Amino acid sequence: MYAHPKLPSFRLDGKTALVTGASRGIGMACASALAQAGARVTVAARSRLDLELVCRAIASAGGDAQALILDVTDSERVNSAVIERGPFNILVNSAGCNNPRPMVDVEDRDIDEILTLNVKSTFYMCRAVARGLLQVGQSGSIINISSQMGHVGSHGRTVYCASKHAIEGMTKSLAWELGPQQIRVNTVCPTFIETALTEEMFKRPGFREWVTSKIALNRVGQIEEVMGAIVFLASDASSLMTGSALMLDGGWTAA
């Protein structure tokens, strides 16, 4: 008898998820997506008030979320929080920052801030969550929010591009280290998304026109357009995918 293949599930019922940078923007959308797919989500950021609002919104939509006040640049606090709240089957590293300016105007504190939050904190989170999964022998999915700028260069974004290229390399290496334990590690690489972080950028004369000229779809992205990719990478639907970059760039890197 012919065995008809069954579509893998995109559902995350019974899974636990941790999302950093979850108080707004892409991180908030990731947390909401995971909760809507059935995961029990812990939303992490430094602002208690913002996290409480996110948890309230997720609960009103029928989801399950709890807040975790966390400075992801503090490795000891990261370790203790993951031990206390984990293990987590899903990790989304969305905390990050950018401060665009010409390289000759970049100050040391800019370098330290961007590399600490974008790179070091991602490593801290991956390490802590992987340790928790390995201790209990569970599989998992780690999703690092990278950027199209992890695959190209751009004027005024030298340090940011360096940080996202680092995330791509880290992800590939972690995929090989953790693959035998069935812990998958991938990146999501959005183009410019309409968020509070990019709002000021889009107010600059000509900036939106420059961005859309680089995007084949001729428009910037919306946070809802990141949500499906997150659920896909977190679920069994992507069970053979690790060490990969999922491009959500509207065609930017296809040029």
Give dist(CA 94, CA 118) in Å, integer: 9
Q: How confident is the model at residue 1 (pLDDT cuts 50, 70, 90)?
A: low
Q: Is 160 a catalytic residue?
A: yes
- Whole-angstrom Cα distance, residue 120 to residue 43? 19
Residue matched to tokens 């961005």: 211
Give the count of domains, the chain.
1
Residue 250 domain flag: no
Q: Is residue 1 part of a domain?
A: no
Residue 239 lies in a domain: yes
45 C-beta neighbours (distance < 10 Å), count: 25
Q: At what angle do helices 158-178 and 121-136 cross, to 10 degrees?
A: 10
Please tell me the least confidently modeled range out of 3-7, 27-31, 67-71, 155-159: 3-7
**For residues 49 and 73, is the Cβ–Cβ distance under 8 A?**
no
pLDDT 10s digits, 43-76: 999 999 999 999 999 999 999 999 999 999 999 9
Among the listed ranges 1-10, 71-80, 210-219, which one has the minimum average pLDDT value? 1-10
Residue 255 has pLDDT above 80, yes or no: yes
Residue 249 falls inside a structural domain: no
Global confidence as pTM: 0.96
Q: What is the CATH number of the domain that holds 174?
A: 3.40.50.720
Q: Name the phi and psi angles at 220, rounded to 5.
A: -85, 165
- The C-alpha atoms of residue 92 and residue 145 are separated, in whole angstroms, by 7
Question: Looking at the domain assignment, is residue 224 inside a domain?
Answer: yes
Average pLDDT in the chain: 96
Alpha carbons 117 and 100: distance in angstroms, whole number: 15
Separation of alpha carbons 247 and 229, rounded Å: 9
Q: Which residues of 121-160 are buried (b: 16+ CB within 10 A; e: fewer)?
A: bbbbbbebbbebbeeeebebbbbbbbbbbbbbeeeebbbb
Position 9 in a domain: no
Q: Where do runs of H (alpha helix) occur along 61-116?
A: 75-85, 108-115
Say if 255 falls within a structural domain.
no
Rounded-to-10 torsion of CA 140, 169, 244, 98: 90
Q: Is residue 4 part of a domain?
A: no
Mean pLDDT (whole number) for 111-127: 98
Q: Measured between alpha carbons, how far is 234 from 68 in angstroms, rounded to an integer?
A: 20
Catalytic residue among 160, 192, 232, 252: 160
Band of residue 140 on the pLDDT scale cut at 50, 70, 90: very high
DSSP letter (8 states) at residue 9: P
Where in the sequence is the domain holding 151, given as residue range(s)? Answer: 16-244
The position carrying tokens 């950027």 is 147
